[in-house]
Amino acid sequence: RGVKKYFPIRSGLLNRVVGQVKAVDDVTLSIRKGETFGLVGESGCGKSTLGRVVLNLHKATEGEVNFNGTDVQKLSGQELRRLRKQMQIIFQDPFGSLNPRFLVKDIIGEPLRLHERMTEREIDSRVVELMELVGLDATRRNRYPQEFSGGQRQRIGIARAIALNPEFIVADEAVSALDVSVQSQVINLLMKLQRELGLTFLFIAHGLNVVRHISDRVGVMYLGKIVEVAPTEELFAKPLHPYTAALLSAIPRPDPTRKRERIVLQGDVPSPANPPSGCRFHPRCPAAQAKCSMEEPQLRELADGRQVACHFPLDASLIG
């Protein structure tokens, strides 16, 4: 609720703070138990930072993160350790996030060693169970991660993330580094695990097409702000924010008779150290009007579970 995460910009010999990068700037959102919330936006929009604040891997500059009724930002010591077991992260890079000097069984078994009192024998049988659960050949547990393909390495990262039976997982670009065919296998695996283990996901990606299949709801971020939230199919059928419409128009459609006109955005994403006035999207927005550069649109709740932050949403009839 009201989460901000600002990073100082330092410069000069004295390393003085000369500005702030407003990576996440006043975000309020809720993720329901058992759902997958897809979070999309171009790189640098703050989605990974938000994911890390949610897990308490970054302290928020302002705001509150509630997990099952506890403000995670206030926890320390034992309580934080207990929280760590319930919330896990799957990283983007299946190559960089696995220590190449550790055997696969030690990578997957590491959280068990850190958090559970288990004998080596118990750890080993849990590792076998986890590898089978994520579709890996457990007889290969005495090998190094380099001996596995990209998709298999991501399965190793997933096995590690679910080792402690967490409730909530942040998947930060978990499939972005993989080939498209491998992407859908990993997404199907995550969906299977969600059903079987009752997981809740915050699924972060830069493209809308990646989140479509897996997400119940989708939030779109632009320059540190959430600009639209909607149930997935409704968002695809009828985007309300011009930025969402532009992201959608970039996805090729299989049916050529139902072509969507491609909306090409002008210019680059502005710097989050110095965001534009009013609506942050206004310098690039095809629908911008005079009001947009002067007044910041707030995220408004609409009747059917949708939210949008725009003065002139694409379907004004939905605005009460």
Rounded least distance, CB 203 to Mg ion, Å: 13
Q: Which is nearer to Mg ion, 104 or 205 (CB)?
A: 205
For residues 303 and 316, which CB has a smaller minimum distance to ligand SF4 in the complex?
316
310 near ligand SF4, rule: CB under 6 A: yes
The site for ligand SF4, by CB under 6 A, has a size of 13
Given Mg ion, ligand SF4, none, residue 238, with its beta carbon under 5 to 8 Å by kind, binds none
Could you tell which of Mg ion, ligand SF4, none binds residue 5, using a CB distance below 5 to 8 A set by kind? none
Sign of CA dihedral 153, 159, 160, 161: positive
Exactly one of 164, 287, 318, 319 binds ligand SF4 (CB under 6 A); which one? 287
Radius of gyration of the chain (CA): 21
Q: Which of 297, 299, 306, 307 binds ligand SF4 (CB under 6 A)?
A: 297
Provide the b/e sequence for 209-235 (b: ≥16 CB within 10 Å).
bbbbebbbbbbbbbbbbbbbbbebeeb
| Binding-site partner at residue 281 among ligand SF4, Mg ion, none, CB < 5 to 8 Å by type | ligand SF4
- Window contacting ligand SF4 (CB under 6 A); options: 30-38, 108-116, 195-203, 305-313: 305-313
Which tokens in the block code for residue 227?
A: 């600009």
Q: Which stretch binds ligand SF4 (CB under 6 A): 113-121, 148-156, 245-253, 281-289?
A: 281-289
When asked if residue 157 is in the footprint of ligand SF4 (CB under 6 A), the reply is no
Nearest to 158 by CA among 190, 122, 125, 206: 190
Q: Which does 159 bind (CB under 5 to 8 A by kind): ligand SF4, Mg ion, none?
A: none
Around Cβ 151, how many Cβ atoms within 10 Å? Answer: 19
> For residue 319, with 0-12 CB atoms within 10 Å meaning exposed, 13-18 middle and 19 or more buried, which class applies?
middle
For ligand SF4, the binding residue among 109, 279, 306, 307 (CB under 6 A) is 279
Residue 106 burial (CB count, 10 A): 16
In the chain the beta strands, taken as DSSP E runs, fall at 3-11, 16-27, 36-40, 66-67, 70-71, 87-90, 168-172, 200-205, 217-222, 225-231, 300-301, 307-308
Cα–Cα distance for residue pair 297/185, rounded to 1 Å: 39
Q: Which one of 79-87, 167-175, 253-261, 306-314 is the stretch in contact with ligand SF4 (CB under 6 A)?
A: 306-314
Binding site for ligand SF4 (CB under 6 A): 241-242, 279, 281-282, 285, 287-288, 292, 297, 310-312
